[in-house]
Every structure is written in C-alpha cells, then in structure tokens.
Amino acid sequence: MGWIGWCETAEMPRDLVEVACCWVDALEQGDVPAANAVSGLVGWDPGPWIAEAWRPDVEELAGSGRTVSSARQVNDRMVRVVLVGERGQAFVSVVLDEDAKVVGTSVGSDEHDGRFWVVVGCPEEREDELRAFYTMLTHGRIGTGEGRMRPPRWRDPAHPTQIHLDVLVADLEAAERAALEHGATKLEEFPGWRVYADPVGHPFCLYPGLTESTDRFGTLVRVVIDCADPIPLARFWGGVLDMRRTVENSPDRVVIARDDDRLPMIALQRVPDYHPPRWPDPDFPPQMHFDIGFDDRAEKERLALALGGTLLPPQGGSCPVYADPAGHPFCLCYKGE
C-alpha cells in the first residue's frame, strides 16, 4: 500500500493526509490495533465493519491488487484517498476530528457531491432485521436509525407515511415472495405496481421493469416525499441535490433527476390533509430522513437556507439537522460522517 512502514513506526502521523492513509492502510490490512490507533471512535471495534462493509465495498469498485494512487486534503475535516485495483477506482472519504482522529469513512465510485443515505426509522432492537431486509431487496443507500418511532398506518393521515421507497424489480412475483418471507406485509395492488409494508411498518412499492443484471431483487429508483405542494419542494431538492432535470411535472406530482441519470430520483407528491413531522418532538417523528454527503458543508448550508430550509435545534449528533420547506428533517454531512 505504500504507507505501511510509516504506520508501523512509533511516531504518530504528522498531518491529516498521513492519518487518513494510515487508516486506509489499516483497513486494507485488516489491522484492528492500527485502525484503533488513529480512530476517534472510542469503544468501537472496527473488525466486523471491515469484514462486512469495507472489504465488499472497495472490492466491488476497485477489485483486487489495490494500491493508493493519490491522497489529498479536501478541507480542514476531510481527506480523499483513491484506491486503484484491477477493476477500477474506489474514492475513500475520511473525516477527522479536531484532534486529527478518524471519525467517519465512506467509499464511492467517484467524487460527486450530494449522494445521500435514506435513514429509515426503526427501534434499535430491530435495526439488524430491517437492514438485512433492505440489503436483500434492493441496491440503494439505505440505513436505519431514528430510535423511537410511531409506525405509519397505510392511508391513515393521523399516522402518515411521509416518505416511501419505490423499488424497480426484474421479477415482481419473486421479489414479492422474498419480501413476504422476510417480514413484509402486502397492503394494496394496483395495475403496474404493488404496495407493501416493511417489517417495522414503512410502506414501499415494487414496480416491474428492471432490465439491468443485479445480485439483489431490485434497485431503488425513487424516493417519494409527501407534501402539500410539490412545486416549491421540487425547487428546493433540485437545488440541494443538483437534480436539475424534471422527469414528470404536474400540480400533484413532480419527479426530478440528475443529468447523468444516477439513481435514485426524487418524487414530490401532494397528499390530502398533509401532516409534517415535527422533529425533535417524539410524538410527531420523521419516518425517514436523508443524510447527505458534501465536500463543502458550509456552502450547501447557505444554499439550503436560501432555498427555504430551516436549521433545527442541535440534538447531539455529528451532522447539523435541517427541515425542508415541507418540514421533513435532513442532515448535511461531510462525506463519510
């Protein structure tokens, strides 16, 4: 890897780039003590994460025979390390704290800004179950969180869905069987798509028509956000996520997408008697939220506020929390945070 000798010396790395490269080297070698030496995540064992997340991600993108081709400091909190292997490149964003300790890592296929995780509300004791469900079902950046929740109830505005996922599948019948076997519940069937609830109650839709080969049943094609008026919300999210292309446009539904067709798209849909979340009020929690990664978080904060977003009171997390014009919370993070 080129940094092993430095990281094995008694002297600690001297700058953020060296710390980040030592971190990446430790992950590549599976060296937990070396990873802990530069980590700021006290009490966290990186071993399982290396095996279950790091290695599959970098191997999918870069393949075997990986080496560090470059490393640069992006800002005062982030370093980008590029791994090159027989398959291609993996772009590793490493986030560091004020003591130059590693506090976050993400792996991507490029350096594009604005990729986001959909964080699905889930009680802590069921996070593993829900994570396994979505990993089985679809490709997509889907995580779990939120803690306490009031599960939505299909077609009940007093217990609103707020946000749901549209998954495009190659074989609708096979995907339905797998979803039901893994704890989903079928809610309704329409010509062309079907609606289910995941194991903790969040509705999602399966659509036939996937033609690309995949090792999952489907691909996350749209994230659908409920609102009272989709037009200003489309303007907001189009600006924040750089989704400038309008795929569908009507008074009740607007679908926006990136110019390069990277999925998922965002759909904003009008719902009658819309009830927004009131984060951090536990009686009106968000069912899902976005964690969005950027190189320049301060610039994106200025843009989000200018487009009608609101900064919400801090609750102790590492990423600031905002609300979009319809009241849906989201986080602006450094990539990897």
CB 261 within 8 A of CB 255: no
Identity of the amino acid at 151: P
- pLDDT given for residue 153 in this prediction: 85
Last residue in a domain, options 89, 108, 127: 108
pTM of the entire structure? 0.84
Q: 69: number of CA atoms within 13 Å, CB side?
A: 13
Residues 73 and 128 in one domain: no
Residues 6+ apart with CB under 8 A from 157: 271, 272, 273, 274, 275
Identity of the amino acid at 133: F
Tens digits of pLDDT across the chain (337 residues)? 444 444 554 455 568 999 999 999 999 999 999 999 999 998 899 999 999 889 999 999 999 999 999 999 999 989 999 999 999 999 999 999 999 999 999 998 888 877 888 999 988 889 999 999 999 999 778 888 865 677 888 888 888 899 999 999 999 999 999 999 999 999 999 999 999 999 999 999 999 998 887 888 999 999 999 999 999 999 999 999 999 999 999 999 999 999 989 999 999 999 998 999 988 888 888 999 999 988 888 899 999 999 999 999 887 677 899 999 999 999 998 887 7
Helix (H, G, I), strand (E, B), or coil: what is residue 317?
Answer: coil
Residues 196 and 159 in one domain: yes
Residue 307 CB burial class (10 angstroms; 0-12, 13-18, ≥19)? middle
Residues 265 and 143 in one domain: yes
Residues 270 and 218 in one domain: yes
Instruction: Give the residue among 87, 115, 117 at the shortest CA–CA distance from 260.
Output: 115
What domain count does the chain have? 2
Backbone angles phi, psi at 56, to 5 degrees: -60, -40
Whole-number Å distance between alpha carbons of 240 and 227: 17
H-run or E-run covering 163: strand 163-169
Residues 143 and 30 in one domain: no
Residues 71 and 123 in one domain: no
Residues 152 and 73 in one domain: no
Residues 134 and 210 in one domain: yes
- pLDDT given for residue 146 in this prediction: 66
- pLDDT given for residue 148 in this prediction: 62
Last residue in a domain, options 72, 87, 108: 108
Residues 90 and 215 in one domain: no
CATH of the domain at 36: 3.10.450.50
Residue 151, Cβ neighbours under 10 Å: how many? 14
Identity of the amino acid at 152: P
CATH of the domain at 210: 3.10.180.10
User: Where in the sequence is the domain holding 37, given as residue range(s)?
Assistant: 4-108
Whole-number Å distance between alpha carbons of 28 and 252: 49
Residues 190 and 207 in one domain: yes
CB 220 within 8 A of CB 142: yes
Residues 235 and 329 in one domain: yes
Identity of the amino acid at 120: V
- pLDDT given for residue 293 in this prediction: 87
Backbone angles phi, psi at 70, to 5 degrees: -165, 160
Residues 294 and 325 in one domain: yes
